[in-house]
Structure 1
Amino acid sequence: MAGRAAAHVSDLIDQAEKAWALDDDVTNARINALSTRILEVARSVERSFEVQCRARGLNTGELLVLDALHRLGLPFEATPSQLRQHFFISFAGIGKRVNALEALGYVERNQQVTDRRSQKIRLTPDGLAILRAFEGRQHRVPHRVAIASMESAEQEMLAMLLRKLHRQIETITATMPDSTAQS
């Protein structure tokens, strides 16, 4: 245990936690510090994605649409409603991303034969190639390198804790009135 304590290096969030504990109780200070740390990690991951996307003329939302189409499997297509299930954004937001990806030649739209009002968005060979180019560079993406440097047990523990935290937040949010959840 002494090795682990020695390996712990204080950072700005730890310092903030100590200061918060002077004005508030230790539990609230810890919650503030953990929440801040989660936000900072998320921002670091997002910046890493943004750099990777910009290098290929995309934004992260557009990459996520390509990835969602790919995850759905062959023939790598979905309706806007199906895509919306993978994101917490409006149809207009999906439409904006699909328009940009279509202009780049990474997706194509096809009218449904049975319902001309509906369409499928399909990943093109160029869209699949751009995803594979991202995959080929994964070993140089900072957040992936950092996670890969963790021991397998640490990765599993982190995943378990983040899943648990996410489920708890979603459960609590679902039971709160809208005005409480937003304030």
Structure 2
Amino acid sequence: MSDLIDQAEKVWALADDVANARINALSTRILEVARSVERSFEAQCRARGLSTGELLVLDALHRLGLPYEATPSQLRQHFFISFAGLGKRVNALEGLGYVERSQQVTDRRSQKIRLTSNGLHLLRAFDGRQNTIPHRVAIASLESAEQEMLAMLLRKLHRKIETTTAGLSDDPPQA
């Protein structure tokens, strides 16, 4: 079934070579899929009163495992954002009761950020077991082999892009 990107590829092929037209079409398709996933993800976050960045902080704490806590420096390793950006997200999450801060016993200048039971409960609501989130429904509709192939191709493409662009910018990507 043809779509607007397929149609654009045909037009691009008339003005350029077929290989460049295909690269343009694939790049555009990846951007459109990413935007669709992002819109779906943002809608789910908004419905729960969060920004996507705040949910990513909760998820990072969860991925670190029990006791679901980290210092700001440890958390920052999971994001390419400034301490100020991380602090803003942690402040918002603390205000919502999803994380709590405590000073470290060994160094009072440092603090730990811990996922609360409310934060863990919220994360579990995002796990998608009900598969009502549009991008999760779409991915789940792919056969297992298709999901594996897509993951492999996206991983490979991401590595190639990162290798090619390494050192081109001093600006870290935003989470």
Q: Is the 8 A contact 1:112 1:118 kept in 2?
A: yes
Verify the 8 A CA contact 1:139 1:145 in the aligned structure 2. yes
Match of 1:153 in 2: 145
Does residue 55 in structure 1 map to residue 55 in structure 2?
no
**Quick check: 1:138–1:144 contact (8 Å CA) kept in 2?**
no
Structure 1 residues 168, 79: closer, same or farther in 2, change over 3 A? same
Runs of 4+ deviating beyond 6 Å: none
Q: Deviation digits for residues 25-73 of structure 1, max 9, x if unmatched?
A: 1111111111111111111111111111111111111111111101111
Structure 1 equivalent of residue 161 of structure 2: 169
1:39 corresponds in structure 2 to 31
- What's the offset of the Cα at 1:79? 1.2
Structure 2 match to 1:11: 3
Q: Secondary structure at the match of 1:156?
A: helix
1:70 aligns with 2:62: yes
Query: Aligned equivalents of 1:110 and 1:154: distance in 2?
Result: 45
- Identity across matched positions, percent: 85
User: Which whole-Å CA distance do the structure 2 matches of 1:88 and 1:20 have between them?
Assistant: 35
Q: Distance in 2 between matches of 1:163 and 1:52?
A: 25
Query: CA–CA distance in 2 between the matches of 1:148 and 1:177?
Result: 36
Q: Secondary structure at the match of 1:131?
A: helix
TM normalised by structure 2 equals 0.92
Cα 1:45–1:37, aligned 2, differ >3 Å: closer, same or farther? Answer: same
Could you tell me which runs of 5 or more consecutive residues in structure 1 were left unpaired when the two chains were aligned: 1-8
CA distance in 1, matches of 2:41, 2:80: 18
Cα contact 1:101–1:107 (8 A) shared by 2: yes
When the two structures are aligned, how many residues end up with a matched partner?
170
The normalised TM-score by structure 1 is 0.88
Relative contact order higher in (CA < 8 Å, ≥ 6 apart)? 2
* Aligned residue among 127, 137, 140 for 1:135: 127
Q: How does 1:84-163 map to 2 (within 5 A)?
A: 84-135=76-127, 138-163=130-155
Q: Which runs of 5+ in 2 are unaligned?
A: 171-175
CA-CA distance at 1:177 after TM superposition:
4.1
- The amino acid of 2:105's aligned partner reads V
- TM-superposed CA distance for 1:88, in Å, is 2.1
Tell me how large the CA RMSD over aligned residues is: 1.4
User: Which digits, 9 at most, give the CA deviation of each residue in 1:140-161, with x for residues without a partner?
Assistant: 0011111111011100000000
